[in-house]
């Protein structure tokens, strides 16, 4: 199952993001995707490296760059996670029930996902 996560549209004006070199920016976006799949925390460096198709040393360099930029935080016990993830990714707006009710009102409540392709 794929997930969605929020990316604030003001990121276009965020100096700490916009000053990143392009490969680090790409890494940050991909790390946000990984964090989304892991409930906001990041897995081991080895797992991140595999997901990003990078070596472990290059992944460590990327993480260090993002920590230095203030875009990745480290907890006391060593976990790493995107800065302000919990604040930006609150879970209060799950839309599944609203979408199902809308589809039912529209007369297509039984439509299956693969029928839309």
Please report, for the domain that includes residue 20, its CATH number. 1.10.10.10
96: alpha, beta or left? (left if phi > 0; alpha if psi -120 to 50)? alpha
The mean of the pLDDT values for the chain is: 82
Please report the pLDDT score of residue 100 as a whole number.
75
Whether 113 is covered by a domain: the verdict is: no
What are the pLDDT digits (tens) for 1-50? Answer: 666 776 777 778 889 889 999 999 999 999 999 998 888 889 999 999 99
Whether 3 is covered by a domain: the verdict is: no
Whether 116 is covered by a domain: the verdict is: no
pTM (predicted TM-score): 0.71
Whether 48 is covered by a domain: the verdict is: yes
Whether 76 is covered by a domain: the verdict is: yes
Whether 40 is covered by a domain: the verdict is: yes
Whether 106 is covered by a domain: the verdict is: no
Whether 29 is covered by a domain: the verdict is: yes
For 15, other C-beta atoms within 10 Å of its C-beta total 8
Domain count, the chain: 1
Domain span holding position 82: 9-89
H or E stretch at 80: strand 80-82
């Amino acid at each position: 199952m794929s997930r969605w996560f929020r990316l604030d549209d003001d990121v276009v004006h965020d100096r700490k993001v916009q000053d990143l070199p392009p490969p680090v920016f790409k890494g940050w976006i991909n790390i946000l995707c990984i964090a989304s799949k892991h409930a906001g925390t990041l897995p081991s460096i080895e797992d991140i490296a595999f997901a990003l198709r990078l070596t472990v040393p290059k992944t460590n360099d990327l993480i260090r760059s993002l920590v230095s930029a203030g875009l990745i935080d480290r907890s006391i016990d060593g976990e790493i996670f995107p800065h302000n993830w919990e604040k930006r990714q609150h879970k209060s707006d799950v839309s599944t029930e609203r979408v199902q009710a809308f589809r039912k009102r529209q007369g297509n409540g039984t439509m299956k996902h693969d029928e839309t392709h």
